Every structure is written in C-alpha cells, then in structure tokens.
Amino acid sequence: MSGVAGSGSGDEAEGDLAVESPASALVVTDGGGGVTKVTPAQREMTREQLTEGCETGRIFGKACKVHWLPILWQSFEWLTAQHSGNILMDTETRNDLTTHPYWATYVYSVEHYRWYQWTDVTPFIVHDIGHPMMGAITSSIFEQNDPKGRALVLENNGNYWRSRLKAMAYSAVYSAQWKVGPVSEASIGNSGWATYYVPRLGRTTNETGFRIS
C-alpha cells in the first residue's frame, strides 16, 4: 500500500488500472494507528490497492462502501436481458403482454400467487439450471461492487461470510422482484393469471410457487 501512503509519484505498478476517489471520501491509517486524509496528489491508486486497503481496514470511508449505482445499473441490464429472452422466445408471454391490461392483470397475478406450494411446475432446465444461474449472477453483481468483499476467497472468517451473506440477501431481493415485482414474471409474463390442469401431476397449476431462486 506504499502507493497510497507515500508521495504518489511513482509507487504504483506501471500499467495498473487507476481508481480516483475524492480526498474527502478516503482516509488511510498509518502503521501506528494514526489517521490521515489523502491529499490530491495521493488520490490515484490501483483497484487492487483500494480493494486490499478496504478489506484490511487500512482504508475506510466512502470509497470502501458498497457501490449501489453500478449494482442497480448492472442488475437492470441483467433484468432487461432476462425479460427480452422470455418475450422473444415465448409466444404466450408476447400474447399476454399485448392483450392483457398491465396493472389489473399484474395485481390479479400477485393476489393468486401460490405461496403454499413449493414449485411452479416449470421444466428442469428452468428450475435447476436457470434459477441457480440467476442467483449466481446477481450475487456476483453485488460482490464485484463491494470493495470490502470482491477479492475475498473461500475462508472461514467473519469478513468472508459477512460479504457473502450480504450478496445472498441482495440476490433474494432481486429474485423476489423477478417473481412478483413491478417488472416481473407476474407483471410482464402474467404468471399466476391462468390456471390449468397438469395430467402428469394430477393437479392444477398457475405457474407459481414459493421457490423463487
């Protein structure tokens, strides 16, 4: 971390990606526990240096907090890709989206969501491949935008598990939105609107269930 606490004139490795942070948002501790603000000449550091400093507690302040704007934007991109895939490949989704009133159908779908049953009777490729992939992607979006946790490797310590629990919580919120949120399978795909009988199961389904990821 000499490139942070030093003069900033040549301590960084040549060719490293520079990350600039406002001096008022970045604080560095010295070896004796003293605290100093970063001067304008010391603002630039590599992404690796910033990550290491945030993980160890040597650097703290705004630069080490979770970066919510990139998280939300990347999540929006992923959500757009998911819905685009459903709309392009599923004729029922296109039909429901163009023929049903948006708000009334969305409310009806959420009201008739079957929270009491575990599965929504979708194929293996959706439940056991697609949903775990969605959870992994959304967790990764959170982790890579958390300076304190993005470089952590599997290790049984507090820093690692706190980081992964926060990512899991974010993934759960995203999954809930994907199922019943305003831009969800319930609103765009109208899951929960139509009920039909499945002979192989011997019961009806409306393509909803409690398992959301």
Euclidean distance between CA atoms 155 and 182, whole angstroms:
38
Q: Which class for 159: exposed (0-12), middle (13-18), buried (19 or more C-beta within 10 A)? A: middle
The percentage of the chain sitting over the pLDDT mark of 70, rounded to a whole number, equals: 73
pLDDT tops 70 at residue 35: no
Euclidean distance between CA atoms 131 and 149, whole angstroms:
24
Average pLDDT over residues 36-55: 63
pLDDT at residue 213, rounded to an integer:
39
Euclidean distance between CA atoms 155 and 159, whole angstroms:
9
- Torsion, CA 97, CA 125, CA 213, CA 136, rounded to 10: -110
pLDDT tops 60 at residue 8: no
pLDDT at residue 28, rounded to an integer:
55
pLDDT tops 50 at residue 174: yes
pLDDT tops 80 at residue 106: yes
Report the chain's mean pLDDT, rounded to a whole number.
Answer: 77
pLDDT at residue 31, rounded to an integer:
53
Euclidean distance between CA atoms 180 and 173, whole angstroms:
11
pLDDT at residue 2, rounded to an integer:
40
Euclidean distance between CA atoms 126 and 209, whole angstroms:
13
pLDDT tops 70 at residue 41: no
Euclidean distance between CA atoms 146 and 162, whole angstroms:
11
Spatial CB neighbours of 68, under 8 Å, sequence gap ≥ 6: 145
pLDDT at residue 183, rounded to an integer:
94
Task: Report the range of poorest mean pLDDT among 19-28, 65-74, 75-84, 126-135.
Answer: 19-28
Cβ(49)–Cβ(4) under 8 Å? yes
Cβ(210)–Cβ(180) under 8 Å? no
Average pLDDT over residues 94-105: 89
pLDDT at residue 136, rounded to an integer:
95
Q: Which class for 51: exposed (0-12), middle (13-18), buried (19 or more C-beta within 10 A)? A: buried
Task: Report the range of poorest mean pLDDT among 74-78, 130-134, 195-199.
Answer: 195-199
Label the pairing between strands 35-37 and 44-46: unpaired
pLDDT tops 50 at residue 155: yes
pLDDT at residue 24, rounded to an integer:
44
Locate 3 and state its tokens: 């490139």
Average pLDDT over residues 122-136: 83
Strand partners, 45: 19
pLDDT at residue 12, rounded to an integer:
39
Q: How many residues does the chain have?
A: 213
